[in-house]
Amino acid sequence: MGRWEPNAQLRLMQAALELFDERGFDQTTAGDIAERAGVTERTFFRHFPDKREVLFDSSRTMERTAHEATLAAPAELAPLDAALVGVTAGAAMLEDRREYAARRARIIAGHPSLRERELLKLAALAATIAQALAERGVAEPVTTLAAESAVTAFRVGFERWTAAGPAGRLADRIAEAAAALRELAG
């Protein structure tokens, strides 16, 4: 099994998605996922604390990327623009994984406890962007309002991106949602 280990995490994520789709989240165990991925259950638990976490493993990477990009955005950018730079950078890791992201979103939508978890992750994403804005010298309530608005643009853009044909870019859908948000608030 050793020679497969380098890709174990990705294979476990793919296997989990397939099984959640086929049997449902509740009917799938960590052991089932390990078996489908061709690794031991012990290997599963070396990578993930439980089967729910398989779906949320990338969230922390996305948060970290969004935080850094918000901080590094040009100093002259307004708070909402800096927050949008952050959220778009965080979303970049999804660009070549549209099929995976869409299936994941469908599974989450069908299960209240997964929806709760996803909302908590999105709240954490907004909080980390707000934190980065504060480090840029922006004060409340603008930090929270800008971060929440950027995450709303991400959510709406993401939904359109996964619903549309595979040709489009998530970054463009987020920019469109942000433009619509500005228009509606203006």
- Quick check: helix, strand or coil at residue 153? helix
Q: Does 112 engage in binding with its own copies (CB under 8 A)?
A: yes
Closer residue to its own copies in complex, CB, 35/159: 159
CB of 133 to its own copies, least distance (A): 11
Contact indicator for 57, 118 with CB cutoff of 8 Å: no
146 burial level (CB within 10 Å; 0-12, 13-18, 19+): buried
Which residue among 9, 65, 70, 149 contacts its own copies (CB under 8 A)? 149
User: How many amino acids of this chain bind its own copies (CB under 8 A)?
Assistant: 30
Q: Does 170 engage in binding with its own copies (CB under 8 A)?
A: no
Sign of CA dihedral 107, 111, 115, 121: negative
DSSP state at residue 168: S
Q: Does 116 engage in binding with its own copies (CB under 8 A)?
A: yes
Spacing of C-alpha 137 from chain mean position: 26
CB of 116 to its own copies, least distance (A): 4
Which region among 5-13, 30-38, 50-58, 75-83 touches its own copies (by CB under 8 A)?
75-83
CB of 78 to its own copies, least distance (A): 7
Q: Does 123 engage in binding with its own copies (CB under 8 A)?
A: yes
Which region among 26-34, 37-45, 86-94, 147-155 touches its own copies (by CB under 8 A)?
147-155
Q: What whole-number distance in Å separates Cα of residue 75 and Cα of residue 77?
A: 6
Q: What whole-number distance in Å separates Cα of residue 7 and Cα of residue 13?
A: 10
Q: What whole-number distance in Å separates Cα of residue 76 and Cα of residue 54?
A: 39
DSSP state at residue 7: G
Which parts of this chain interact with its own copies (CB under 8 A)?
78-80, 112, 115-117, 119-120, 123, 141-142, 144-146, 148-149, 152-153, 155-156, 159-160, 177, 180-182, 184-186
